[in-house]
A = this chain, B = another copy of it.
Amino acid sequence: MKRVSIVGGSGYTGGELLRILLDHPAVEVVQVTSRSRLGEYVYQVHPNLRKRSTLKFTDPDLLEPVDVLFLALPHGQAQHKIEEYAALAPTIIDLSADFRLRDAQAYQVWYKEPHSAPQWLSRFVYGLAELHRPEMSSAHYVSGVGCNATASILALLPLVKSGLLNPESSVIIEIKVGSSEGGAEGNPGSHHPERAHVIRTFSPFGHRHTAEVIQELDLKNVSLTMTSVDLVRGVLATAHATLQPGVATKDLWKAYRAIANENPFIRIVKEQRGIYRVPEPKVLAGSNYADLGFELDESSGHVVAMCAIDNLMKGASGSAVQSMNLMLGLAETTGLDFPGLHPI
């Protein structure tokens, strides 16, 4: 049993990590820290864990050495203490945005402030197993993933990897998100009477997760447009792009099947009839699957590529545990077998 701790365990990401790790057969949760909820039982903050754990939140300044440290702090904090954390654990997975970008310049452009530990950027592997499985087996440090970046990257992955995407194509990604993406702290816009029933395009351009898509897929002309809808968990990315001339639907099927075969958490959802013809996030709540779909207008080469995920699982804590499994040499799917619910 590996000993693991979670730093910053009172947010939604921390809670989801804890849910997974408490039932993970190869690890034991040693500490979960929270400055604001110090001393409270974890189930008082994560009510689904009642009768499942008698852990209490501990002081983040009193961390014990462990085998694996998960950092689930708000963005901008982990980079200031990464040396301390590294002294406590040989394996670190940081779910924040602090170590996702490889280039300190890019970090400054997108996050509007200099990175405080730029020398650490190259030590981290970007935390998406579908892109970096080989590196993860020997990595000590893996970053988190942006949930919108994950949905975007996986929507495009079959097109990019197969070389079917026209390299000159602009890529417009329309992303619809649920409210848990904003985290556990409320704001005026998350007040239920204001947030319920919205279709709110809160970010037409310039969302920070764009930087991850550019970096990981080596694309240039990409934009993410973010729209909030009435849902708690879930992201759907609908990407519009142009393929190489002459590409047919059967070529895409081949590209998608290759990706689905290589990756245990990738599924293709493309049915001719019935209710469940396209990827939908609602059926993924709690699961680590990424469901992919596509539709091609062969005459114009315009492809619509879709990816649905649970932002707290594949888009955050699920991918983090998947990375841990690979780093520890465990089966990639260990502890991540919940298939999701239907109906929900």
Could you list which residues of chain A lie within 8 angstroms of chain B, going by C-beta atoms? Answer: 12, 15, 19, 22-23, 44, 46-52, 170, 172, 174, 176, 178-180, 184-202, 204-205, 221, 223, 225, 227, 229-234, 236, 238, 240, 267, 269, 271, 274-283, 285-287, 289, 291, 293, 295, 297, 300, 302, 304, 306, 308, 337-344
Whole-angstrom CA separation of A293 from B293 in the bound complex: 30
Q: Which of B23, B240, B285 contacts A337 (CB 8 A)?
A: B23
| Contact indicator A192/B240 (Cβ below 8 Å) | no
What residues on B are CB-neighbors of A231 within 8 Å? 197, 199, 229-230
What residues on B are CB-neighbors of A180 within 8 Å? 193, 343
A-B pairs with beta carbons under 8 Å apart, 22 shown: A12-B193, A50-B267, A50-B289, A174-B225, A174-B238, A176-B199, A178-B193, A184-B191, A190-B193, A192-B195, A193-B343, A196-B196, A197-B231, A197-B344, A198-B282, A199-B282, A199-B308, A201-B278, A204-B295, A223-B240, A227-B238, A229-B231
| Contact indicator B240/A236 (Cβ below 8 Å) | no
Whole-angstrom CA separation of A191 from B227 in the bound complex: 18
Q: How many copies does the complex hold?
A: 4
What residues on B are CB-neighbors of A196 within 8 Å? 179, 192, 196, 230, 232, 282
Q: Which of B49, B232, B286, B308 contacts A193 (CB 8 A)?
A: B232
| Contact indicator B202/A232 (Cβ below 8 Å) | no
What residues on B are CB-neighbors of A197 within 8 Å? 230-232, 234, 282, 344
If A231-B197, A282-B197 touch, whether A19 touches B225 (CB-CB below 8 Å) is: no
Give the residue among A23, A44, A195, A238 with the most B Cβ atoms within 10 A: A195
If A193-B12, A205-B297, A341-B48 touch, whether A230 touches B232 (CB-CB below 8 Å) is: no
Whole-angstrom CA separation of A233 from B196 in the bound complex: 11
What residues on B are CB-neighbors of A200 within 8 Å? 278, 280
What residues on B are CB-neighbors of A19 within 8 Å? 339, 341-342
Whole-angstrom CA separation of A238 from B225 in the bound complex: 9
Q: Given A44-B274, A48-B340, A196-B282, list of 5 further CB < 8 A pairs?
A: A50-B269, A174-B238, A197-B344, A205-B302, A230-B230
If A223-B302, A280-B199, A295-B204 touch, whether A176 touches B179 (CB-CB below 8 Å) is: no
Whole-angstrom CA separation of A233 from B198 in the bound complex: 11
Whole-angstrom CA separation of A47 from B191 in the bound complex: 16
If A47-B276, A198-B282, A199-B282 touch, whether A232 touches B304 (CB-CB below 8 Å) is: no
Q: Which of B186, B223, B234, B339 contacts A49 (CB 8 A)?
A: B339
Whole-angstrom CA separation of A271 from B199 in the bound complex: 16
What residues on B are CB-neighbors of A195 within 8 Å? 192
Whole-angstrom CA separation of A200 from B277 in the bound complex: 9
| Contact indicator B49/A275 (Cβ below 8 Å) | no
| Contact indicator B225/A289 (Cβ below 8 Å) | no
| Contact indicator B289/A51 (Cβ below 8 Å) | yes
